[in-house]
Every structure is written in C-alpha cells, then in structure tokens.
Amino acid sequence: MRKTIALWLAAGIVGFCIFPWYSVESGFWSFSWLFSEFLSEDAAPALFQALLYGRWWFVPLALAFVGIGLSFALLKDERTRAKALVILSMTGLALLFAQGFAIGRVGPELFIDALNFGSAAAGQVGFGSGAMITAGALLFILTTSISGLGQGRGDAFIVGSIGLIIALVITFVFYPVSQILIRAFEASDGGIDIALFFTRFFSSDIWSLACLVGGKTCGPAWNSVFLAVLTGAGTTLLGLAFALVATKTAFPAKKLLRVLTIIPIITPPFVIGLALILMFGRAGVVTDVLHDVFDISKSRWLYGFSGIYLAQLLSFTPIAFLVLIGVVEGVSPSMEEASQTLNASQWQTFKNVTWPLMRPGLANAFLLGFIESIADFGNPLVLGGNFNVLSTEIYFAIVGAVADPSRAAVLAVVLLMLTLSAFVAQRLWLGKKSYATVTGKADSGQHSPLNSALKWTCYGFALPWAAFTAVVYSMIVFGSFVKLWGYDNTFTLDHYIRAFSVSFNNGIRWTGVAWDSYFTTLTISTIAAPLTAVVGLLTAYLLVRQKFAGKNLFEFSTMLSFAIPGTVIGVAYIMAFNTPPIELTGTSIILIIVFVFRNMPVGVRGGIAAMSQLDKSLDEASITLGANSFTTVRKVILPLMGPAILAALAYSFVRAITSVSAVIFLVSARHNMATSFIVGRVEHGEYGIAIAYSSVLIITMLVAILLLQVVIGQRKLRRQNRLQTSNKNNELASA
C-alpha cells in the first residue's frame, strides 16, 4: 500500500513540476517543452506557472500535494493515514477541476466578479500532459487509500480500476451527454422548465398510435420500439442458428459460413441499403425479373418498415452471432452428456440443459440487437420511406432546416428511456442464477449434436440467409466495377483508379483521393480498438466478479454512450470539448475517445456473457494460491476469454471504421475519416467511388480480423472440440 502511494505521489509531483500543464502548440512529442520552452508561458509546468506567471490558482493544489506528502510521511496509524489521504486527494481533484472550469479561455467563467483580476482575467488554455498526469496521480492516491480503508477487499487493483472507469465514464460520457440532455428542459427563453419537458415528452408527435386505428403513421417512438424488438428477436434467432450450425453440426463449409456472417458487420453504412434498393427497389434487378416472369407489379414495398428491417437483420445478425458463438462453445459438454446419460433425448437435452445455459448469451445478444436497431441511422435514412424512427428524427432535429436542439434532446431522452427499459427487462429475465459452465475441472465431454429437427431448422434459417448475404455482397463488389451502378453496367476500373491510384515517380506518391482518409482511419481504429477492449473487458470483470455499491447504476452508465445516437454524441462532444479545460476538437484524440466510449459497451456485453460462464472457483483457486486479483485476471481469466477478446477487438476496430453519425461532427481537415468521405460521395450520387472505397475497406477489415484470429487463437478448454460422430464406436464395440 505504502509503496503504491509513494509511487503515485512521485508521479503527481512530476506532473505538477515538470510536465507542461497546458496543451502545447508545438505538440507533446516534439519534447521542446522539456528543453527550449521549459519555462515559457505556454509550456511551463504548474509550479512555474504559479511562480513565474502569477497563476496563483495553482497554489491551493500545490498545498494539497504538500498535505498528502506530510500525512504520508508523518501519520503512523494506517487507518488515520488512509482517511487523511482520501480527504486530501479528493480536495486536490476538486481544486484541479474547479480552477479549470472557473477560468476559461478568455477569462473567468464562474465567480466572474471575484476572479476578474490579474492573470485570471487573461484566461488559460486547455489541460495538457501535466494536468492529466496530476489528475491521474490524485485519482490513484484516492483509490489506493480507499482500498486501504478496507473497501473492495482491500485490493488496490480493484478499487483503482473501478475508480479509473468511473472517472473516465464521467468525463467522456456523463459530462458531454449532460451538456445536451439539459437542453430537453430548456424553455424558449433559455430558462429551465420541467413542465414543458413533460409536455414535449408525451407529445403525440412522438407517441401517436394512429397507425393502429387508421392508415396514418405512428409516432417515431413506437416505430422504433416495434422495429427494435423485431430486430433484436430476429438477429438473436439468426445468430443462434449460425452459432449452432458452427458448433454443433458437421456442416462442411463452416469457415465460409463464418466469413459470411462477419462481412455485414464490416460494411460501411449506406452500402447495404443501396444494394437492397438495386435488388428490390422499384427498378431493382429482382423486381424486374419478378415483373417479367410472374407479372408481379413493381412496387415500393422496400421503402419503409420492411426495407429497414431487412437491412438491419443483414447488418446486426453478425453481432448476435459473435456474442452467441462464444456462449454456445462455452456450454459444458459434460452437462449435456450428464443429461443424455440420464436418458434424456437430444431435444430434452437441448431444451433443459443447453438452452437455459445460453440464456445470458441470448439476453445479451437481444439487448445488443435492440440497442443497435434503435440507434441505427444509416439504414432508416436510405430505406425509411415514410416510416420515421427516433434516430433519424433526432438527426434532422439537429441538422434539419429548422434546427431544434431541445426537440432533439427530448427525443434522445425518449430513446434513452427505451434502452433503459430493455436493459431492465433483460436483467429480470436473467435473474440471479449462475450460468457458469467453465470450471477448473477437466472436461472431456463432446458437444452433443443437435437433433435432426433442430438441425434442419437451423440450416433452414442460416443457409438461405447466408446465400442472401452472399448475393448482396456480390452486388456490392459488382457495383464497384461498373460505370453507373444499376444503370450502365460497362466494366470499368475508373472508380478504383480515382480513389487509390499510386504514382511511382520519385518514390511512392499516394495520388488517389481516398488515401488520406484511408490512412487516418486505419491509424485511429488501430489505436482505438485495443483501448476499447481493455476498458470494456475490465469493466466486464468488475461487473461480474466484484461486488460494490451502485453496481447496477455503474453497469447502466457504461451502456449509456452506446444507447445515445451518434448525432447526439457528436454534438455533445463538440459542446463539451471545444473549450478549456478539456479542449480536444480538431484533434485525433477526440475521435479515438469517442470510439472507445461508444464501442466499449460491446466489450462489456461480450465480456459479461463470456465471464458469467467462467466458474468463480477458478479465481478463488488463484487467489488462494496467493495471487492478487491483477495476476488472476492476467493468468486465469484472460486466457479463457479468447473469443470475447477477439470479439471486442474486432468489433471496436470495425465500428471505428464504419461508424458515421458521431464522426461527421468531429472530423476535421487534418483527421478526416473514410465514412465521412463515403457519405459525402453518396450524398452527391457518386456511388461508384463510394462503393469501390467501401469494398477496399471491407477487405482491409476482413484481413485485420483474420490476423487477429490468428494472433489470439482459440482458447483451449481441455475439451475435444469435435462432435460425437454418431455411435459408430459403440457399434464397433458391440460387434
């Protein structure tokens, strides 16, 4: 305990006295702040800002550090010392943020009258590395001291992790989101009006049920719920069918099936919608054939609920599959064998053993499908017709001809509430049962095959769907090689040449128009993916394995950023991070952060699903043998989490590449993203280049996922991962 605190105290002092407090113009990595600019006004650390430039508001913070150092050195009683450190480090954190918020870029923002003198009146810029290190050090002194008081079983790693995640979620989810949600309560004169909020909230614009009684459309809220429930159920079923086919049948082309189920997840937005239009739209290929052969009249059935539903099933089934495959694989064959030994039929085994054990997976897959559907923006935009859903309504409330941020905020609250309901429903369904099937005991069972009725049902769902996916994607690839997709099908390579040409005069020059955004996208996603996986899985570990107060709230708060539509997040991030103390707009950091916190829920969900299958006795054995919780995580849990880690890494990488709505507001000239580029092309009808670019992205992501799969590999459960091959052996034995 003492050593940890000493180290963090040292880190804090270094952050306060050596690193530049503010963000430096020339960039952190130039390191000029350490040499030529060390004591310049821009790059000086907090200590010298106070001594040389009259920034007196760092003095209280310095005093807090002195206090921490003194109590650390002088107080002998462990509990008294811990208590003193808790109070002092909290004071330090409060002082740090208070000065940041109180004194803005052009002078004081809070307590204006009291502060408006001297150097405070001149203002200050955003936090830099010094402030970040100092804040981190104070946070970990706080959590280490709290664990010193006996909280979290006195485990500094656990309390530190909880503290870190809470701090991150508050800074990068709550703080920005509150900036925009507060506007739901804003009256037209700028004041706060609670009654007005309820009027808006229950407005028939949002909740109308007219479609049930007349021909008119329902409100966007009901449309969204209806769509999300069906999408959640549909993707879970299809994902389950795929997962069962992949693990419990002897289907020959499993590898191909797996690739097919992954491709939709790595498809940039709009592309699936466009492909569907070209197939099933009024002038689509399939429509034409049906018209010519069967005389079915050409209609616009695709535009509206049916089109969105189809596109969402295509897009989100893979997510359900990724969650469920780990779960289905993890269901212990021993339990299935025990059931069969007790004379249960294959169907009874499935119904009474396998199915209940898959419940956490099913519930998580459904929840993800539901939330994805409700927050989906690209598909409703392209295929929505007159079927309005919340996500597009929110987008147009912000960017439409009549911008109405308070309406957007109200709609966002509705959307959040729907997500919360789904979350609660999921918890109720799962209850408090244990779903652990991976224990420390050797398990030499074999996965029981599905009974044939179930097997053919799974085939019946999965195979046509796989074929359909294959057709949709052939259309897309085809589209990138023809002059005018859907109209003039002359072969051409123009789109690829325009986007990705390279010239070899004087070394390699990337002359194609897409290279810039392509490289940026890859860099940012590569940085964001491992961070997302770490944050997501750490959170999952805390949620599944640790008990602490406010756990449910903690769990929901980690889901928050996922449930809020990207548009709202994008605008919220600009509002929160455009001005000091945390000034990030126009940098690549803001893109990385938005990806990490938007995609971490997938890591969390997948991690929870996988971890609730790991028996606690594994951890306990490790702890009993003297390992601390960090070692346990590293040596016991992580190796068993292979599929979940893979899913989290792959998914966050892919989402960072394909997400669009949040990113549109945050991209800048220096850091433009591929999707933003593609959407711009789609907006102006240049489908050829958009689709060529998308195809390249799809292949890039596919390669990345395959590489990940090779690197991470499969977890070894000391089970034979093969199916019982009927009863040949028995027959041989009896013969």
In contact, 441 and 617? CB cutoff 8 Å? no
Q: Which is nearer to other proteins, 163 or 326 (CB)?
A: 163
Q: Which is nearer to other proteins, 474 or 489 (CB)?
A: 489
Neighbours of 512 (CB within 10 A): 18
In contact, 73 and 56? CB cutoff 8 Å? no
Q: Which is nearer to other proteins, 487 or 504 (CB)?
A: 487
Q: Which two tokens stand for residue 133?
A: 């290190």
Would you call 155 helix, strand, or coil by DSSP? coil
What sign has the CA pseudo-torsion 643, 645, 646, 652?
Answer: positive
Q: Which of 319, 320, 315, 420 is nearest to 377 (CA)?
A: 315
Q: Which is nearer to other proteins, 298 or 433 (CB)?
A: 298
Q: Which two tokens stand for residue 619?
A: 């951890």
Per DSSP, helices labelled H in 170-263 are 175-181, 194-201, 204-207, 210-213, 220-248, 254-262
Element (H, E) at 467: helix 452-480
Beta carbon of residue 426, minimum distance to other proteins (angstroms, whole number)? 30
Q: Which two tokens stand for residue 445?
A: 């069972």
Beta carbon of residue 550, minimum distance to other proteins (angstroms, whole number)? 22
Q: Which is nearer to other proteins, 58 or 396 (CB)?
A: 396
Strand duo 482-484 + 103-104: pairing: unpaired
Q: Which of 294, 424, 326 is nearest to 370 (CA)?
A: 424
Q: Which is nearer to other proteins, 156 or 246 (CB)?
A: 156
Beta carbon of residue 683, minimum distance to other proteins (angstroms, whole number)? 6
Contacts of 141 (CB under 8 A, 6+ apart): 5, 8, 9, 12, 68, 85, 89
**DSSP one-letter code for 267:** S
Q: Which is nearer to other proteins, 169 or 368 (CB)?
A: 169
Beta carbon of residue 246, minimum distance to other proteins (angstroms, whole number)? 35
Neighbours of 136 (CB within 10 A): 16
Q: Which is nearer to other proteins, 97 or 459 (CB)?
A: 97
What sign has the CA pseudo-torsion 330, 334, 335, 337?
Answer: positive
Q: Which is nearer to other proteins, 27 or 713 (CB)?
A: 27
Would you call 24 helix, strand, or coil by DSSP? coil
Amino acid code (one letter) for 87: I
The angle subtended at Cα 216 by Cα 210 and Cα 219, nearest 5°, is 55
Beta carbon of residue 140, minimum distance to other proteins (angstroms, whole number)? 6
Beta carbon of residue 271, minimum distance to other proteins (angstroms, whole number)? 15
The whole-angstrom separation of Cα 5 and Cα 402 is 54
Enumerate the β-bridge partners of residue 482. Answer: 491
Q: Which is nearer to other proteins, 15 or 601 (CB)?
A: 15
Strand duo 720-723 + 446-447: pairing: parallel
Beta carbon of residue 73, minimum distance to other proteins (angstroms, whole number)? 20
Beta carbon of residue 648, minimum distance to other proteins (angstroms, whole number)? 17
Beta carbon of residue 713, minimum distance to other proteins (angstroms, whole number)? 23
Q: Which is nearer to other proteins, 247 or 588 (CB)?
A: 588
The whole-angstrom separation of Cα 254 and Cα 695 is 23
Beta carbon of residue 157, minimum distance to other proteins (angstroms, whole number)? 4
Q: Which is nearer to other proteins, 329 or 376 (CB)?
A: 376
Crossing angle, helix 129-148 and helix 156-169, to 10 degrees? 140
Q: Which is nearer to other proteins, 422 or 590 (CB)?
A: 590
Query: Please, is 92 exposed, middle or buried when counting C-beta atoms within 10 Å of its C-beta (0-12, 13-18, 19+)?
Result: buried
Beta carbon of residue 139, minimum distance to other proteins (angstroms, whole number)? 9
Element (H, E) at 500: helix 494-500
How big is the chain, counted in residues?
Answer: 735
Q: Which is nearer to other proteins, 350 or 396 (CB)?
A: 396
Q: Which is nearer to other proteins, 625 or 710 (CB)?
A: 625
Q: Which two tokens stand for residue 107?
A: 């002078």
In contact, 44 and 53? CB cutoff 8 Å? yes
Beta carbon of residue 79, minimum distance to other proteins (angstroms, whole number)? 20
Element (H, E) at 488: strand 488-491
The whole-angstrom separation of Cα 82 and Cα 150 is 10
Beta carbon of residue 54, minimum distance to other proteins (angstroms, whole number)? 23
Beta carbon of residue 182, minimum distance to other proteins (angstroms, whole number)? 14
Beta carbon of residue 576, minimum distance to other proteins (angstroms, whole number)? 9
